A = this chain, B = another copy of it.
Amino acid sequence: MSDRSSLPSPPLVGLFGFGAFGRLIATHLAPHCPIRVHDPLLSPGPLQPGITATTLEDAARCPIVILAVPVARMQAAARAIGPHLPHRALVADVGSVKILPADILCRELPPHVRIIATHPLFGPQSARNGIAGHRIVLCPLRGTSAAPLSAFLRRTLGLDVILTTPDAHDRDAAMAQGLTHLLARILSEMGPMPERISTSSFDLIRTAAAMVQNDAPEVSHAIAHLNPHAGAVRRRFFTIAGRIAESDDAHDAALFPETAFQ
């Protein structure tokens, strides 16, 4: 049995942003390392066991810093913390898109800082029963392989780690997240859905739509507008939907030339 007191103490983690996702991160990391949170809405002081709200400077002085801020605020956050980061600090974001935050972090953070862009493919709702088994994307950008972080996420948190590049991530996410959000918006505009006359498959689609309809507006905005591949997926979806609608209408017109059904 090892003598616990002889183990190196776990690194301090500085967490920026204590919204829904920031709180989820803090809850799952607190058993493993002390957390210093900075959020303009929090007064400094203890929040929960292992989680302490603090000043921007204090949170930025940690060897590991996580930016859980909206993608649209990433540049301001990077500029604000840059001067306070310790030598070779590891900085990670958790945004839903990766090309844009990756560019911002590489441009705005001091050259000595190590950077890994991440996208946890889960949220407070899908991970309400725990995060083990969920997926997280890692894009190592500067100064480090993702190996040590990846080992921690796999072994300690039980996550399925996907290593890729920001561009490959955004291409795939434009389909997965882009289509889910687009469909949720269309369904919500279609008005009330049938309550009882439904099928197992349609119930799954409604569940999926409800899951993302609860997302923060910043998340939906990033998925629709801050992923450079989103527009192409949206237009492709629209073109194919239109082709199907047109061909079905033509088929109907041939089947029922006298609109027997009207």
Which residues of A approach B to under 8 Å, CB–CB? 99, 121-122, 126, 134-135, 137, 162, 164, 168-169, 171-173, 175-177, 179-180, 182-183, 185-187, 189-190, 193-194, 196-202, 204-205, 207-209, 211-212, 224-225, 228, 230-231, 234-238, 240-245, 248-249, 251-252, 255, 261-262
Partner of A197, one of B172, B205, B234: B172
By the criterion CB–CB under 8 Å, are B244 and A196 in contact? no
Q: Within 8 Å CB of A212, what residues of B?
A: 201
Q: Is the CB of B225 within 8 A of A255?
A: yes
Copies in the complex: 2
Tell me the complex Cα distance, A75–B207, Å: 38
In the complex, 9 of the A-B residue pairs with CB atoms within 8 angstroms, ordered by the A residue number, are A122-B199, A126-B201, A176-B202, A180-B201, A202-B208, A204-B204, A234-B248, A234-B249, A242-B242
- Is A245's CB under 8 angstroms from B251's CB? no
With A172-B194, A172-B197, A251-B225 given, is the CB distance from A240 to B189 under 8 Å?
Answer: yes
Shortest beta-carbon distance, A1 to chain B, in Å?
38
**Contact indicator A205/B180 (Cβ below 8 Å):** yes
Q: Contact between B231 and A186 (Cβ–Cβ < 8 Å)?
A: no
| CA–CA, A122 and B200, complex, Å | 7
With CB as the reference atom, state the residue of chain B lying closest to A200: B126
Neighbour of A238 across the interface among B164, B172, B209, B242, CB < 8 A? B242
Contact of A193 among B168, B176, B196, B208 (CB under 8 A): B176
**A231 partner, pick from B164, B169, B208, B248, beta carbons under 8 A:** B248
CB < 8 Å neighbour of A194 from B176, B196, B245: B176
For the complex, give the distance between the alpha carbons of A243 and B193 in Å: 20
A172-B99 Cα distance, complex, nearest whole Å: 42
Listed residue (A172, A197, A201, A252) with the most chain B CB atoms within 10 angstroms of its CB:
A201
Contacts of A189 in B (CB 8 A): 240, 243-244
A135-B196 contact, Cβ under 8 Å, with A241-B182, A245-B235, A249-B231:
yes
A220 CB, min distance to chain B CBs, angstroms: 11
Identity of the chain B residue whose Cβ is nearest the Cβ of A260 in the assembled complex: B228
Please give, as numbers and ranges, the residues of chain B lying within 8 Å of A182 by CB-CB distance: 241, 244
Contact between chains at B197 and A164 (CB < 8 Å): yes
Which residues from chain B contact A237 at a C-beta distance below 8 Å? 186, 190, 241, 245
